[in-house]
A and B are shown apart, each in its own frame.
Chain A
């Protein structure tokens, strides 16, 4: 059965009419039209679909779109500071933490949530904080470096 709801994504209001069983990921990609959020497994195993719901990281493949009503959804497209890259995005590139890039949006969302929760994380805290996001390219080393550099930058500012 279809239902008309309003989703708030990156500060914009999107009226959508969707089947009640639709997951948040497919609605963000299909109806809202933001494809930065990826589908890697549809099983909560890979983290490529990670978004923030009121700042909390959630695998959007396994979350009903209906449940996201009235909450603020943040996707990778909402991370930019206007036209400028967020320090985390810039550090990922400068540290070499991006290869194929398919895990990157989910990784950025998990790291954003981590840095909000723990502004000065230890390496171990970064590794645990990102352990729900699988990356097959990098071996994670340079991603961890990028998050640590970002934390240091944000702490210093």
Chain B
């Protein structure tokens, strides 16, 4: 039973940054120029693994117009990384992936900078290339980091040689569960890596004034970027100012600390402002944020009445050359491989393997879409093996309100069962379809992230207001929704508020546009800040109207005495009074909700992902049409049902689901990172790495199961930006498997791979008949 809460603000929503964006007047980082500004270029390794035997920048420095050439010898000797301190700004004697930065140049223009990069002499002793995550874990595999044991690391991580983070989740007795099962199904799946691919390639501008640096950068996480600059260049936080102009998308690819310190160091050495503009190829190769490839071995036992009694699953994730923010991915991947199911006996083991690939990192719902794809493909295999309908099998085995998840977390009111029912109904599941069409169904889940966050609110003497927030807008509209929350608290209109945001020197901390956390946490902060002003306004109005402050109501831009609307004063008048005395300034943060308890499970390598605050659930049902002659799949219709708690901004929420679904279609069919035998990416351009176009996009029907969730975000909201990206590829896979007669065991399920599977099925059928 779920309680549907109507959207509090059904009024038409126009995002505050919209006029900037549709008129072309909005500035993105690449649009900025400063007097005397130089162009930056990086010298990349070009090989996947090697020891530097010679590095000579003499000729590069001698080129007229070159102002600075930097290598690791020119910056503080700091090893950094959020989970494992395995990285330096520039290669420190060894290069470990093809786009590792060996040197950086600042020159009068981009062409001169490139000539200088080409003039840098680097010679290498080639080292063995670790190109496969599974073989990287072998006892005799070459090490990506020979000094791994001496690196600083988060105490929660379990590390051994090329395994940068081992994690396991165990509950019950998996051996006994398997022995008691009526049927045991084993499956192997392999998911290729893929990319965030925001349309804006990243850009950075850095300028020093005295001993302070201002950095304009296309990051999703300004405070994280600041922390990285401070750590690597050994600066206090109050001398580094990060400003994000409009951000042209991120999808996780612009999370983390990336190149801000390189450009700040160049600007300092050159004594000039310096700008970095990435090419599309660099955007594919260099950031330490590629969705991790993962291979899976599943084993699930079911009883004769269709209940899951045991699951054993092993995951090997590709960490790439450096750990970046992937330290918690092994545990997160393990949670997704167990899935939102009731399983009494289970064992999940996950390894994060170093390779000589681009580092992995938090692309939209890290580990989730590919693991959901593998798990839900396996789930359909299990359902088929005992002759059950896949939807009925999920309804029987999925978690529900008051029941227990894989780590023993007991859920409050959740809407996963309603999601299944709604998505199946919207898709027309069970209807008669042409021979070349089928509907696949998958369920997914994703945590909300409860973290600290801050904001200020002020009302000036004329009654106009500002929200000054640490939150970062990456396009989702989360920051754009904040004025409505403040307005409702103060009885004002959203249009009364202007936003000041994305500047670390003016606003308090926020984690950034990451983890679907903005509205969840910064919404709490803005409401708390507005509440302080509301209290001030009630006191001022009480004085003005000769009433008790407790009787003052703020609504429609006025303060009035409850029950006596005639005794009223405009908030703007009160703001004018305050401007001559105690100013109307509020600050807010609020305590984030704590993690829910878990019991009955054992988690090794616990990175904090075993218990999920305000978990989100979804079910996607996708109708697919397959051309069996070519293997080309076309997505005809998507039904997406989501429990993300209360929906505060319906227009923005729909946009998140539509965008997440289309990204999921790309991941399902066309988006995959390919490597050659020397660990060079083969797909580092939009011609080879195909994003979905407008002509590819299917109709998408959406339903929100709205539960006013306690211990969640404002008004019972959960996160939403990542969840829509979780279940689409899985649902597509289950439709394709029906049409092909077997699952396609590698992601993306390209036309070639689908066709290959069709041929295997045909051969097996012929072989079986003979």
Q: For the complex formed, measure the closest distance between the CB of B546 and the CB atoms of chain A, giving whole angstroms.
A: 45
Q: Which residues of B pack against A, CB within 8 Å? A: 12-15, 17-28, 30-31, 197-201, 246-251, 279-280, 474-477, 651-652, 654-655, 657-663, 685-687, 691, 693-697, 699-700
**In whole angstroms, what is the CA distance A102 to B279 when docked?**
15
Contacts of B477 in A (CB 8 A): 99
Given that A42-B280, A100-B199, A100-B475 are contacting pairs, would A139 and B662 also be in contact in the complex, using a CB cutoff of 8 Å?
Answer: yes
**Complex CA distance for A28 and B685, rounded to whole angstroms:** 24
CB of B551, distance to nearest CB on chain A (Å)? 39
Are the C-beta atoms of B659 and A99 separated by less than 8 Å?
Answer: yes
Excluding A38-B248, A139-B659, A139-B700, 14 further A-B contacts by CB distance (< 8 Å) are A35-B24, A36-B23, A39-B30, A45-B686, A77-B23, A85-B19, A93-B18, A96-B655, A101-B20, A102-B200, A134-B693, A137-B249, A137-B659, A140-B658
Assess the B24–A75 pair: CB atoms within 8 A: yes
- Complex: how many Å from CA A28 to CA B196? 28
A76: chain B residues at CB < 8 Å are 22-24
Total number of A-B contacts with CB less than 8 angstroms? 169
Report the bound CA distance from A134 to B662 in whole Å: 12
CB pair A105–B24 under 8 Å, yes or no, is yes
State in angstroms the CA–CA spacing of A89 and B199 once bound together.
20
In whole Å, how far is A43's beta carbon from the nearest beta carbon of chain B? 6
- Interface size (A, Cβ < 8 Å)? 53
In the bound complex, CA of A43 to CA of B281 (Å): 10
- List the 4 shortest-distance A-B pairs measured between CB atoms, nearest first: A36-B24, A101-B21, A100-B475, A102-B248
Would you call A100 and B247 a contact (CB within 8 A)?
Answer: yes
Q: Which residues of B contact A141 (CB under 8 A)?
A: 658, 697, 699-700
Query: With A102-B199, A102-B200 known to touch, is A93 a contact of B22 (CB < 8 Å)?
Result: yes
Q: Is A130 an interface residue when CB atoms closer than 8 A count as contact?
A: yes
Q: Quick one: which of B657, B659, B660 has the most chain A CB within 10 A?
A: B659
- Is A48 part of the contact surface with B, judged by Cβ < 8 Å? yes
17 contacts between A and B (CB under 8 A): A35-B30, A38-B30, A42-B279, A76-B23, A96-B654, A99-B475, A99-B477, A100-B475, A102-B200, A104-B22, A130-B694, A136-B249, A137-B476, A139-B661, A140-B694, A141-B697, A142-B655
B23 x A93 contact (CB < 8 A): no
> Inside 8 A of A35's CB, which chain B residues have their CB?
24, 27-28, 30-31
Q: How far is the CB of A152 from the nearest CB of chain B, in Å?
A: 17
Separation of A29 and B32 alpha carbons in the complex (Å): 10
- Nearest chain A CB to B540 CB, angstrom units: 36
Q: Which residue of B lies closest to A30 (CB)?
A: B33
State in angstroms the CA–CA spacing of A76 and B24 once bound together: 6
CB-based nearest A residue for B662: A139
Check: A54 CB closer than 8 A to any chain B CB.
no
Contacts of A59 in B (CB 8 A): none
Contacts of B246 in A (CB 8 A): 100-102
Residue of A nearest to B17 (CB): A101
Q: Which residue of B lies closest to A96 (CB)?
A: B651
Of chain A, the residue at the smallest CB distance from B197 is: A136
Give Cα A118 to B24, complex, Å.
24
Instruction: Please give me the residue from chain A that is nearest to B14 by CB atom.
Output: A93
Kindly state whether residue A53 has any CB partner on chain B within 8 Å: no
Interface residues of A in 35-77 (CB under 8 A from B): 35-43, 45-46, 48, 75-77
Interface residues of A in 1-45 (CB under 8 A from B): 29, 34-43, 45
Q: How far is the CB of A67 from the nearest CB of chain B, in Å?
A: 21
Q: Considering the chains assembled together, what is the distance between the CA atoms of A118 and B623 in angstroms?
A: 31
Per-residue B-contact encoding for A73-112, CB less than 8 Å = 1, 0 else: 0011101100001000110111010111111110010000
Expressed in whole angstroms, the Cα–Cα distance for A127 and B110 within the complex equals 37
With a cutoff of 8 Å between Cβ atoms, the chain B residues found around residue A37 in the complex are: 24
When A94-B12, A102-B28, A105-B24 are in contact, do A137 and B654 touch as well, CB less than 8 Å? no
Contacts of B651 in A (CB 8 A): 96
Contacts of A133 in B (CB 8 A): 694
A134 contacts across to B, CB distance below 8 A: 199, 686, 691, 693
* Cα of A89 to Cα of B20 in the assembled complex, Å: 11
Q: Are A137 and B475 in contact (CB under 8 A)?
A: yes
Q: How far is the CA of A142 from the CA of B249 in the complex (A)?
A: 17
Q: B659 touching A138 by the CB < 8 A rule?
A: yes
A110-141 interface (Cβ within 8 A of B): 126-128, 130-141
Are A98 and B23 within 8 A (Cβ)? no
Q: Is the CB of A101 within 8 A of B26?
A: yes
Contact A40 B659 (CB under 8 A): no
Residue of A nearest to B699 (CB): A141
Cβ of B200: which chain A residues have Cβ within 8 Å of it?
38, 40, 100, 102
